[in-house]
Amino acid sequence: MSALPPGVAALLGQARRVVVFTGAGISAESGVPTFRDDLTGLWARFDAERLATPEAFHTDPDLVWGWYEWRRARVRRAEPNAGHRATAAIEALVPGTVVITQNVDDLHERAGSHAPIHLHGSLFAPRCVAEAGHPAAFPAVEGGQGDEPGEGRRIPPPRCADCGALVRPGVVWFGEALPGAALSAAVDAAAACDVLLTVGTSGVVYPAAEIPRIAAHSGATVIQINPEPTPLDRISAVNLRGSAAQMLPTLVDAAWKAA
């Protein structure tokens, strides 16, 4: 783990408007795999793109819903890590901090973050397939203890209580645009912040990858936390080499002292 460079804690501790932008790396430390890496066990015979498109859901909704039930159950077994908790601590340190995540899990919420912006949707916000796309009540995950619930199984999706249409996972699939309201809120927050922390993201998945760049181009200081170099190195004023669970608590502790 790299030591904090001089002055970086003061950047956060004295900031007035902060954005924390997180990617798959922060949740990987809690054991949450990416959707491609989640094709294990009986699901390994499928391609991710066969399960993560509107066409796949239209063709075989039971298969797609079964996979997402399995994924939701696995996320429920995971726990927020020190990186998620440090993110919530930043919100206490700098009131009005905006958390923007590319992750579809609920680990930020369970760690105490208030209303993070989910750019790619959420496993825990299903909606109906009708044009209006009403939010839908979340059904109980099938399956018992021990084996992963729903592994390799087709599970019929429920019907929307409002209109009777099928309920679909509330995530962004291949070929779909990011939720307009979420993307607009993320862009506005990035353009208005004075410090943006980018944590555990490769910076190559667009349009989400534009968020740190918007902040940098608007004059904000970008601080990157990632074990490996990324394309965001070029726009980051500070690159902290380490994992979120290692570096974020260290940075937050130092920032409290510098505030």
DSSP 198-231: EES--S-STTTTHHHHHHHHTTPEEEEE-SS--G
* Residue 72 assigned to a binding site: no
Active-site position among 108, 120, 134, 217: 120
Tell whether 2 is covered by a domain: no
Active site residue 120: yes
Tell whether 82 is covered by a domain: yes
Tell whether 30 is covered by a domain: yes
Q: Which H or E run contains 128?
A: strand 121-128
Nearest to 236 by CA among 205, 207, 204, 199: 199
SS3 181: helix
Tell whether 46 is covered by a domain: yes
Tell whether 105 is covered by a domain: yes
* Residue 243 assigned to a binding site: no
- Position 164 scores a pLDDT of 85
Structural domain containing residue 191:
8-258
- Position 2 scores a pLDDT of 54
Tokens encoding 28: 């990987």
- Domain harbouring 231, CATH code: 3.40.50.1220
Q: How many domains does the chain have?
A: 1
Tell whether 73 is covered by a domain: yes
Per-residue pLDDT of the chain (259 residues; tens, 9 = 90+): 457 888 999 999 999 999 999 999 999 999 997 655 555 554 456 777 778 899 999 999 999 999 898 889 889 999 999 999 999 999 999 999 999 999 999 999 999 999 999 999 999 999 999 876 778 765 554 443 334 545 568 899 998 888 888 999 999 998 999 999 999 999 999 999 999 999 999 898 899 999 999 999 999 999 999 999 999 999 999 999 999 999 999 999 999 988 7
Tell whether 247 is covered by a domain: yes
* Residue 228 assigned to a binding site: yes
**Full-prediction pTM beyond 0.85?**
yes
Tell whether 163 is covered by a domain: yes
